[in-house]
Structure 1
Amino acid sequence: MKTKFYRLLTLAAFLTVALFSAQDAKGPTFIGTADKMFVAPAISTLKNPEVFVSVEKEMKDRRFYKHEIVPGKDPQKTDDHFVLNRHELEGKIPGKTPSLVFDAAASTSQPTDPALAVGPDHVFVVFNTGFIIYDKNGTALTGQLTPSNIFGTNGCCDLTASYDHVAQRWVVSLLGNGAYVAVSKTSNPVTTQWNVYQYSAVNDYQKLSVWSDGYYMTDNTSSTNKIYAFEREKMLAGDPAAKILAFPLPGIVTSGFFSPQFLTLSDTNAPSPGNVPVVYMQDDAWSGVSQDHIKLWNLNVNWATPASSTISQPVQINIQPFIGVFDGGSFYNLVQPNGGATIDALQATIMNQAQFRKFATHNSAVFNFVVDTDASAAKRAGIRWIELRQSGDGQPWSLYQEGTYTAAAGKHAWNASLIMDMQGNIGMGYTAMGGTANKFVGSYYTGRKANDPLGTMTIAETIIKEGNANIPGGRYGDYSKIDIDPSDNKTMWYDTEYMNNGRKNVIGVFKIAPNYLKDVGVVSIDTPVTGALTNAETVKVKIYNFGENPQSNIPVSFKVNGATIATETYTGTIAPAATVDYTFTAKANLSTEGQTYAIAAETSLAGDEDLTNNGITKNVTHVFQWDASMDEITAPVSGGFLNSQPIKVKVSNKGTQTITSLPVAYNVDGGSWVNETITTPIPAGGTFDYTFTAPFNFSQIKSYNVTAKTMLPNDSVPTNDEISKTVVNSACYTSTNNTQYPIGPGSGVVTNSVISQTGIGNITKVKVKVNLTHTWVGDVEMKLIGPDNTEVMLANRRGSSGDNYTNTIFDDDATTAISSGTPPFTGTFKPESPLSAFNGKPITGNWTLRITDKANGDGGQLLNWSLEPCSDAVLAVSQTDVDSNKVQVVNVGNNKFKVILKDKAITGNVNMNLYNGAGQQVLVKRLNKTTGEYSTEFDMSYAPKGLYIVKLSDGTNNFSKKILVK
Structure 2
Amino acid sequence: MKKLFPLLLLFLCLSLQNHAQENASSVSQGRFVGKTIPLKDFASLEERQYRINEIKIIPNNIRANEKLDLTGLPLDGNDPMRQAKKGKDTPSYMLEQNFDGISINESGGATPPDPSGAVGPNHYINAVNSVLKIFDKSGNLLVGPTALGSFLGNGTNGGDPIIMYDHLADRFFVSQFGSANNSLVLGVSETSDPTGAYFVYEFVFDNFPDYPHYSVWHDGYYLTANKSGEVVYVLERDVILNGGEDPQIVGFSPPGLVFNPGTVKSLATSNMLGSDYPENSPGYITYLQDDGWDESVTFDHLKIWEVNIDWVSATNSTISDPIEVPLNAFDSVFAPFGSGDLVQPETGQKIDMIGGIISYAANYRMFENHNSWVITFNVDVDGNDTAGIRWVELRNNTTDAWTVYQEGTYAPDDGNSRFMGSSAIDIQGNIGLGFNIGSPTLPVGISYTGRYESDPLGEMTQTEMVIVDGVGVQTYSNRFGDYSHLTMDPDGFTFWHTAEYFKLTNEWQSRIGSFRLSAGFENDLSVADIINLENDIFTNSEPIEVKIRNLGTENQSDFPIELYLDGDLVATETFSETINVGEVAEYRFDQTLDLSTQGQTYNIRVKVILDTDQYSINDEKNQEVRHLFNNDIGIVSFDSPESGFGLSDEEVSVTIKNYGADTQSFFEIQYAIDGGVPVLETVSDIVNPNETLVYNFSQTADLSSLVVYSIEASVNLGGDQFNSNNTVTTEVENKICAPTMNCSLGDGIQLFSIADINNVSGCEGYGDFTNLTANLIPGNTYPLTITTGYGNQNVTVWIDFNNDNDFTADEKIVNNFVIAPGETGGSYTETIDVTIPASSNLGSFTMRAKTNWDDPVPEDACVPSNYGETEDYTVNTETILNTSDFSPLNNSKLTILDKGDKQYEAVLTTAYDGPAYIAIYNLKGQQLKFKKIVKSSVDSYVVRLDMSQVSTGMYIIRIGGKIGGSYFTEKFIVK
TM-score (norm 2): 0.62
Partner residue of 1:317 out of 303, 318, 326: 326
2:66 — aligned with what?
68
Distance 2:559 2:633 in 1: 43
For the pair 1:857 / 2:826, whether they are aligned, the reply is yes
Distance 1:566 1:863 in 2: 74
For the pair 1:774 / 2:774, whether they are aligned, the reply is no
* Correspondence list, 1:536-685, <5 A: 536-627=541-632, 654-657=659-662, 662=666
Distance 2:819 2:282 in 1: 59
TM-score (norm 1): 0.63
Partner residue of 1:495 out of 471, 495, 498: 498
Q: Per the alignment, do residues 265 and 656 of structure 1 end up closer, same or farther by CA in structure 2, a change over 3 Å counting? A: same
Task: Note if contact 1:229-1:246 (Cα within 8 Å) is conserved in structure 2.
Answer: no
Structure 1 counterpart SS, 2:161: strand
* Correspondence list, 1:171-320, <5 A: 171-176=173-178, 177-182=181-186, 184=188, 186-188=190-192, 189=194, 190-221=196-227, 223-230=228-235, 232=237, 237-239=244-246, 242-247=249-254, 250-253=257-260, 256-271=263-278, 272=280, 274=282, 276-280=284-288, 282=290, 284=292, 293-300=300-307, 304=313, 306=315, 309-310=318-319, 312-313=321-322, 315-319=324-328
Task: Note if contact 1:600-1:615 (Cα within 8 Å) is conserved in structure 2.
Answer: yes
For the pair 1:389 / 2:391, whether they are aligned, the reply is no
2:93 — aligned with what?
95
Distance 1:392 1:140 in 2: 44
1:31 — aligned with what?
26
Q: Per the alignment, do residues 53 and 258 of structure 1 end up closer, same or farther by CA in structure 2, a change over 3 Å counting? A: farther
For the pair 1:335 / 2:344, whether they are aligned, the reply is yes
For the pair 1:351 / 2:359, whether they are aligned, the reply is yes
Structure 1: unaligned runs, 5 residues or longer: 1-22, 636-646, 698-705, 726-765, 783-796, 824-829, 840-846, 871-966
For the pair 1:425 / 2:430, whether they are aligned, the reply is yes
1:519 — aligned with what?
524
Structure 1 counterpart SS, 2:110: coil
Distance 2:98 2:635 in 1: 47
Distance 1:71 1:800 in 2: 63
* Correspondence list, 1:120-159, <5 A: 123-133=124-134, 142-148=143-149, 149-159=151-161
Partner residue of 1:534 out of 536, 539, 547: 539
Residues 350-389 of structure 1 deviation map (CA, whole Å, 9 limit, x = unaligned): 222111112232221113234566x497x87544322111
1:744 — aligned with what?
none
Flag the structure with more relative contact order, 1 or 2, with Cα contacts below 8 A and sequence separation at least 6: 1
Structure 2 counterpart SS, 1:145: strand
Q: Per the alignment, do residues 528 and 207 of structure 1 end up closer, same or farther by CA in structure 2, a change over 3 Å counting? A: closer
For the pair 1:479 / 2:476, whether they are aligned, the reply is no
Residues 819-875 of structure 1 deviation map (CA, whole Å, 9 limit, x = unaligned): 99xx9xxxxxx9736776569xxxxxxx999897999637999799998989xxxxx
Aligned amino acid, residue 480 of structure 1: S
Structure 2 counterpart SS, 1:423: coil
1:162 — aligned with what?
164
Residues 546-590 of structure 1 deviation map (CA, whole Å, 9 limit, x = unaligned): 333333343333344444443433333333333222223333333
Residues 314-338 of structure 1 deviation map (CA, whole Å, 9 limit, x = unaligned): 62522365686369874362536x8
Residues 510-538 of structure 1 deviation map (CA, whole Å, 9 limit, x = unaligned): 44333533333323222432122223322
Task: Note if contact 1:40-1:196 (Cα within 8 Å) is conserved in structure 2.
Answer: no
User: Could you say what the CA RMSD is over the residues aligned between the two structures, in angstroms?
Assistant: 6.1
Task: Note if contact 1:42-1:194 (Cα within 8 Å) is conserved in structure 2.
Answer: yes
Distance 2:272 2:718 in 1: 66
Q: Per the alignment, do residues 851 and 362 of structure 1 end up closer, same or farther by CA in structure 2, a change over 3 Å counting? A: farther
Distance 1:654 1:426 in 2: 36
1:84 — aligned with what?
84
Task: Note if contact 2:226-2:264 (Cα within 8 Å) is conserved in structure 1.
Answer: yes
Deviation at 1:59, TM superposition (A): 2.6
Structure 2: unaligned runs, 5 residues or longer: 1-17, 641-651, 701-710, 731-735, 776-787, 789-795, 801-805, 829-850, 862-975
The total of aligned residue pairs comes to 758
Distance 1:26 1:467 in 2: 48
Task: Note if contact 1:779-1:855 (Cα within 8 Å) is conserved in structure 2.
Answer: no
Q: Per the alignment, do residues 712 and 817 of structure 1 end up closer, same or farther by CA in structure 2, a change over 3 Å counting? A: farther
Aligned amino acid, residue 335 of structure 1: Q
Structure 1 counterpart SS, 2:246: coil
For the pair 1:832 / 2:798, whether they are aligned, the reply is yes
1:111 — aligned with what?
112
Task: Note if contact 1:798-1:818 (Cα within 8 Å) is conserved in structure 2.
Answer: no
Distance 1:857 1:468 in 2: 30
Aligned amino acid, residue 66 of structure 2: E
Deviation at 1:469, TM superposition (A): 6.4
Structure 2 counterpart SS, 1:612: helix
1:748 — aligned with what?
none
Distance 2:856 2:565 in 1: 54
Task: Note if contact 1:494-1:508 (Cα within 8 Å) is conserved in structure 2.
Answer: yes
Q: Per the alignment, do residues 137 and 602 of structure 1 end up closer, same or farther by CA in structure 2, a change over 3 Å counting? A: closer
Q: Per the alignment, do residues 624 and 252 of structure 1 end up closer, same or farther by CA in structure 2, a change over 3 Å counting? A: same
**Higher Rg:** 2
Structure 1 counterpart SS, 2:83: helix
Structure 1 counterpart SS, 2:38: helix
Distance 1:386 1:717 in 2: 48
Aligned amino acid, residue 203 of structure 2: Y
Residues 640-678 of structure 1 deviation map (CA, whole Å, 9 limit, x = unaligned): xxxxxxx9999876543456x757899999999897966
Distance 1:478 1:356 in 2: 22
Task: Note if contact 1:228-1:246 (Cα within 8 Å) is conserved in structure 2.
Answer: no
Aligned amino acid, residue 38 of structure 1: F
1:44 — aligned with what?
38
1:368 — aligned with what?
376
1:802 — aligned with what?
762
2:456 — aligned with what?
453
Q: Per the alignment, do residues 334 and 302 of structure 1 end up closer, same or farther by CA in structure 2, a change over 3 Å counting? A: same
Seq. identity, % = 24
Aligned amino acid, residue 83 of structure 1: Q
Structure 2 counterpart SS, 1:369: strand
Q: Which moved more, 1:54-63 or 1:124-133?
A: 54-63
Distance 2:168 2:464 in 1: 33
Distance 2:136 2:737 in 1: 52
Distance 1:533 1:562 in 2: 19
Distance 2:818 2:330 in 1: 47
Distance 1:313 1:253 in 2: 18
Task: Note if contact 1:624-1:716 (Cα within 8 Å) is conserved in structure 2.
Answer: yes
Deviation at 1:298, TM superposition (A): 0.8
Q: Per the alignment, do residues 169 and 256 of structure 1 end up closer, same or farther by CA in structure 2, a change over 3 Å counting? A: same
Task: Note if contact 2:58-2:112 (Cα within 8 Å) is conserved in structure 1.
Answer: no
Structure 1 counterpart SS, 2:517: coil
Q: Per the alignment, do residues 81 and 299 of structure 1 end up closer, same or farther by CA in structure 2, a change over 3 Å counting? A: closer
Task: Note if contact 2:113-2:128 (Cα within 8 Å) is conserved in structure 1.
Answer: yes
Task: Note if contact 1:179-1:206 (Cα within 8 Å) is conserved in structure 2.
Answer: no
Q: Per the alignment, do residues 44 and 572 of structure 1 end up closer, same or farther by CA in structure 2, a change over 3 Å counting? A: same
Task: Note if contact 2:567-2:603 (Cα within 8 Å) is conserved in structure 1.
Answer: yes
2:842 — aligned with what?
none
Deviation at 1:27, TM superposition (A): 5.8
Structure 2 counterpart SS, 1:454: coil
